[in-house]
Amino acid sequence: MEAVKPPFKALLLYGSHARGDAQATSDVDILQVTPTHTAPYAVGRVNVTCYTLDQLLRLARKGGLFAQHLVEEALPLADPYEVLGALKSAYVHPLDYHAVKREVYGCGPLLDVADSQFKKNADGLSSLVSYLIRTYLYATAFDRGAKSFSMAHVLDLLGQQRASNILSNVRSQRSISAFAAARAFFEELTGAICQRKEGSLEAFIVNASAHNELAVILGLRLLARGRPFTYDALLDVEF
């Protein structure tokens, strides 16, 4: 609670600490429901993701993975307006997760970066490839009947235990070698080719705008390099 920067309408605990399977090194994941769009932040090992109630309800009605995560596993730390109850009422469970996987597949060209480009945004690109891999694994696992957002459960179900080391390395090392290994795994996992025919990231975003909202949002986030912007709030899960 001391790590949270007010104001807020609700604070929800989610992730491993909410499920009760946290390890000694696990971060504490908090959703902060804010009056206006606010950038995420971290204080020590407390990671705070910020959404407005309208943004959360939009994700819930779309059946988004992050909304599902909250509805199924979040615990209220402070919820005087019963935000969690409103999300549960608004949530529409998708028939399948094929659309999520198609969007993630279409984000492959965002990972087409040279070594020199990676060095300019190592944190952003490392987080991006981790997010894409995790999202694809979650979507595949829930299509196969997964019961939890525990990554250990997901990897056991899919027989993808080696993904654990790949994800751990890219998050902790933030190096070009760890990024390249994660990108190669992403290509193997999805069948995507991480090459951008448009050349520039800006041109790719323009072309993607007609058919892949996720690619547009993530592309704009790369361009912003961590600075908050309006489209940032539409992203379906933190990364």
CA–CA dist 131, 108 (Å, integer): 12
Beta bridge partners of 78: 11
Contact indicator for 32, 74 with CB cutoff of 8 Å: no
Q: For residue 39, what pLDDT band results from cuts at 50, 70 and 90?
A: confident
Q: pTM (2 decimals)?
A: 0.91
Q: For residue 122, what pLDDT band results from cuts at 50, 70 and 90?
A: very high
Q: Is residue 118's pLDDT more than 80?
A: yes
Mean pLDDT across the chain, nearest whole number?
92
Strands 46-51 and 75-78: unpaired
Mean pLDDT to the nearest integer, 76-99: 97
Q: For residue 40, what pLDDT band results from cuts at 50, 70 and 90?
A: confident
Q: Is residue 235's pLDDT more than 70?
A: no
Contact indicator for 11, 77 with CB cutoff of 8 Å: yes
Q: For residue 232, what pLDDT band results from cuts at 50, 70 and 90?
A: very low
The secondary element (H helix, E strand) that includes residue 139 is helix 122-143
Task: Please tell me whether the peptide bond between 7 and the residue prior to it is cis, using omega within 30 degrees of 0.
Answer: yes
Residue with tokens 């991006």: 128
Mean pLDDT to the nearest integer, 60-65: 94
Mean pLDDT to the nearest integer, 97-105: 96
**pLDDT tens, residue by residue, 212-228:** 999 998 999 899 875 65
Q: What does the block give as tokens for 38?
A: 């606010």
Q: Is residue 77's pLDDT more than 70?
A: yes
pLDDT for 226: 59
Smallest CA-to-CA distance from 183 within 119, 101, 112, 123 is with 112
Q: Is residue 231's pLDDT more than 50?
A: no
Contact indicator for 1, 56 with CB cutoff of 8 Å: no
Beta bridge partners of 23: none
**pLDDT tens, residue by residue, 192-216:** 999 999 989 999 999 999 999 999 9
Neighbours of 235 (CB within 10 A): 22
pLDDT for 37: 86
Q: Is residue 88's pLDDT more than 50?
A: yes
Q: Is residue 239's pLDDT more than 80?
A: no
**pLDDT tens, residue by residue, 173-190:** 999 999 999 999 999 999
